[in-house]
Chain A
Amino acid sequence: MMRLSHFDFLAPATIEEAVGLLQSKGADARLMAGGTDLLMKIKLGAIKPGFIISLKKIGGLDQISFDPTTGLTIGATALLADVADHPDILKHYPTVAQAARGTANVQVRNMGTVIGNLCNASPASDNAPTLLAMEAVLHIAGPEGKRKLPLDQFFKGPGMTALKPSEIVTAVGVPVLPPNAGTAYISLSARGKLDCTAVGAAVMVTMSGDVCKDIRLFVASCGPTPLRAVKAEEIIRGKQISDDLLAQAGSQASQESRPITDLRASGEYRTKMISVLTERVITEASKKARG
């Protein structure tokens, strides 16, 4: 039952070596962090790579660090479980920890990574929406050296990213949140947390009293990539948050998204839930912002 097709396994010790291997092996090679998405794709026969290049032996790549001026950095092989339990993340970015804890089950969180979740580029990714809302930036290494890319320019479609050939994401950085900022993420799925998200919403609001000075709102699993609900944001930005305004923003967010019907939920259900979740995340985040 479901054996893996044959491949060679390479475990470089440095990023440079890994980039070199990606260049020499070309499209026949795949990067692997935890392998929870990659090995499943091979088992299902969706891909048949000749080489797997593991990132696990690269020193320092599993680091999670927080600096009060530059913010949070999560390395490419940092496990979902370690992100979920990290004291600095729990303190300064509780929604990032919550999203990691809401991903899959204990065993998968002990194997899989946040960066693998992002690079897999599933529209249902549990870690993308909050990181997008918080203006996360990817650190990328490739044949031409290092570059940084805002996460909101990374996703190009299901399984497709802005990575160029032979590039590797080495870390994701999250800036220090603005003063009076609040964040929230809510996702729904058929089997509690375990299933992939059927519909979700994440937001960061920056408040000044009852007035929302700024907002970044993303909906998950409702289009080919996590989507930013720009027009719904406009309804809220600069205004005093009220029930009426929340309802307007909710229905606008539904109109902006492009949910499909699939195994996890019908398009109609998703459309309805986007508006409910939008209202809920904004309410929750603005409460947190006001402390």
Chain B
Amino acid sequence: MKQVIKLSVNGDPYTVAVDPCQTLNEVLREELNLTGVKLGCGSGDCGACTVHVDGRAVSSCLTLAVEMDGKEILTAEGLAPSGETLHPIQEAFIDKGAIQCGFCTCGMEMSALNLLQKNPSPTETEIREAISGNLCRCTGYTKIVEAISAAGEKMREGDR
């Protein structure tokens, strides 16, 4: 039987009827059309589906939607709500050439945000640890690490 949940996604309130066996990933992608949230492995290994729930990065592919009643969800779409001004993390990913095919990018950015909110000036090792749950098959990670470091700097300056 479907259950009705109320949740906030990128600041907007939603009321959705979900099947208990639907994942948060399925609801975000298929019901709310937030396709920046990717589905890679479906098993917690690749990080392409990473979103924030109440401020913490989780794998949406292993999260049940029914458990999201009353929660605040942030996806990569919510990083630049206006769609015009990009978030410093997004800017840094573009500036540093940290995006190739782009499949991992939204998940990487959400993991980067999870790190930078707690630790605004991380070391390279801390960055690499923070994205160890995110796979990228294109960039070789170096540019991503540089981008996250630069984003930290930008965010410290802008204090956002």
Q: Which residues of A contact B (CB under 8 A)?
A: 1-9, 11, 35-36, 39-40, 43, 52, 54, 56, 81, 104-108, 110-111, 192-194
Contacts and interface: CB of A to CB of B under 8 A. Distances in A.
Contacts of B47: 105, 107
Interface stretch (B6-14, B57-65, B79-87, B95-103): B57-65
Interface residues of B, number: 30
Contact of B44 (A52, A104, A193): A104
Contact of B39 (A1, A4, A54, A192): A1
Q: Which of A4, A8, A106, A111 has the most CB of B within 10 A?
A: A106
A139 to B, nearest CB: 24
Given A35-B62, A36-B62, A81-B56, A43 B43 contact: yes
B34 interface: no
Nearest to A42: B21
Interface string B17-33: 00111110010000000
B132 A111 contact: no
B130 interface: yes
Nearest to A44: B43
Contact of A106 (B20, B21, B23, B133): B133
B43 A193 contact: no
Interface string B36-75: 0001001111010010000011110011101100000000
B114 A106 contact: yes
Given A7-B21, A39-B62, A107 B132 contact: no
Given A35-B64, A39-B64, A40-B62, A104 B133 contact: yes
A267 to B, nearest CB: 25
Q: Which 10 A-B pairs have the closest CB atoms?
A: A105-B133, A9-B20, A4-B21, A2-B42, A110-B56, A107-B59, A9-B66, A107-B133, A110-B58, A6-B21
B132 A6 contact: no
B64 A9 contact: yes
Nearest to B18: A9
23 contacts: A1-B42, A2-B42, A4-B23, A6-B21, A7-B21, A8-B1, A35-B62, A40-B62, A52-B20, A52-B64, A54-B67, A56-B67, A104-B133, A105-B44, A105-B47, A106-B132, A107-B57, A107-B133, A108-B44, A110-B58, A111-B62, A111-B63, A194-B133
B105 interface: no
Contacts, number: 78
Contacts of A39: 23, 62, 64
Nearest to B131: A106
B43 A2 contact: yes
Given A8-B20, A35-B62, A52-B20, A106 B111 contact: yes
A105 B21 CA distance: 24
A3 B57 CA distance: 22
Contacts of A52: 20, 64
A194 B132 contact: yes
Nearest to A82: B56
Contacts of B39: 1
A11 B19 CA distance: 15
A9 B69 CA distance: 13
Contacts of B43: 2, 40, 43
B123 interface: no
Contacts of A36: 44, 62
Q: Which of A56, A106, A107 has the most CB of B within 10 A?
A: A107
Given A5-B21, A107-B44, 7 more contacts: A8-B1, A9-B3, A36-B62, A39-B64, A105-B133, A107-B47, A194-B132
